[in-house]
Structure 1
Amino acid sequence: MNSKLKEFNVVGIGASAGGLKALQNLFRYIPDDTGMSFIIVQHLSPDFKSLMPELLSKFTNMTIHTAKDKLPIKPNCIYLNQRNKNLHIKGSKIYLLEKGPKNNLNLPIDIFFHTLGEEFKEKSIAIILSGTGSDGSRGITTVKEKGGITIAQNPEEAEFDGMPNAAINTNAVDYIKSTQQIAKILTSKNIELKILNALDLNTQKLETEFKGILVEIYKHCGVDFREYKKNTIIRRMEKRMGINNINNIKSYSEFVKKTTKKKKHSEMIF
């Protein structure tokens, strides 16, 4: 993937029934200059023209595009799927795919999320909003596995909780929040912490704290993460720090020591 792509996040949003209200509430609180790109995939009837560009433009000043084949992905823009095409990403562009026969099950959100995770890896963010069924629940696991961030709308807020609950049941969701809280997460400085990147320079103080956390977890559960790839552990640890609103490794070390008796090792890092 082009190195320039790594300079900004791509946020994939899956929505179905009740999704319009959720999207409007979400973009009401997202600034126009986050530096992120937003790609929305909805369940659309092939027989009716979508009014989403007009309806969403009331809540954001970002440029809104209806996706076209080989359309470049740019920051501070919103892209919408077409009603009669599936959407996926390859490199830095959006590609359109023909849908299968009308009677076949079509999962456009899963299709898109799979390619989002594969292409943008740790720069990918997958969000599941209101909808029925389970579309998106498979695709978010790819985003999670590739080091991206996964978010589900709080089912208590969603008009239809099927899709959020299906995503949550995968145990691959990092955040379960209201649309307003999701917007806050996306604009948080902790969305991608960089504090641990200094470990690559072998800064002694950070290195000591880092190893101390791994030793504490080994004592608690018997799994030695010191044998794992360091960069993988760093990315997972950064994500857990962000989820717990911790912005330095010393505070995270103290947090781990306090919670080892209450949580499994997978909850602390992965």
Structure 2
Amino acid sequence: MQNGGYNMTDSDRDKLRRNDQNEKEEDFEPDEDFWLDEDEEDAEDGQPRPRTWIRKVIVWLIVAALGLNVLAFWPKVYSWEAIRFLIVSNTLSKDETLALYKDSIVTVSSGKSKGTGFQLEGGYIVTNHHVAGNGESLLVKSGLEETGVRAELSASAPSIDIAILKREATTEDFPSLKAAEDWTIGESVYVIGNPLFFNRIVNKGSIVGSTQLDGWDRPVLLIDAPIFGGNSGSPVINEDGDVVAVVFATQEVRRDGKREKYGLAVPMHEVTKLIEQLAD
């Protein structure tokens, strides 16, 4: 066959057929973007991908919810007053004498409850009745011990919210405090305990007087000092290092025409009478 003065050979015809096939294959070869889904094709047009912004919204909602929970929980654990007493405790704890007093303080736990106790001369541990409960599953732990040890309930006086404990077994000679029955209005005192989620926190205050509670037949002391949950069973220690009372609660009291919160503490002479009964 002739084409424009050129004779096409069989070899030329084969080349033409091969080129036609290649062009057809190239026409149907998928571009890379063909495999992208709809969201990704939209992203190429500058539009946000729906699934991406939905994920971001969900993440931010979760973060916001967690943040709100933290903010709601914070005032229950920390407050400016609590932060202040931590700062004061850190300063007071640098005093070597007060540091020794802290060694006699123990954490008393019974089931889910936790409070404070302290060791007196003679090996007895003093705490509150509402901390020790019925005496089951009692554990005490000082700052000198790595783990808690079992304790037994030696005596309890619910009417004055006092309990006396004894370690079941120990070979250690733990530091102890002495009891004093005398106190005066206005004298400076220290309160050492396990408030909130902290242990062996020391703060300073004063004895402002005594008060008679409804249902009680004996007066209790009013203590002007930072008292929080977990301070139950804390010793009130005078400047001589003797325990004059045991913290058990707080109460708002009207004084000088205004209501203020004070710590309530059982005078130590009530505690020593209970211990003397154990010795009889």
Q: Which has the higher strand share?
A: 2
- Tell me the TM-score normalized by structure 2: 0.21
Higher relative CO (Cα under 8 Å, sequence separation at least 6) belongs to 1
Greater helix content = 1
Normalising by structure 1, we get a TM-score of: 0.21
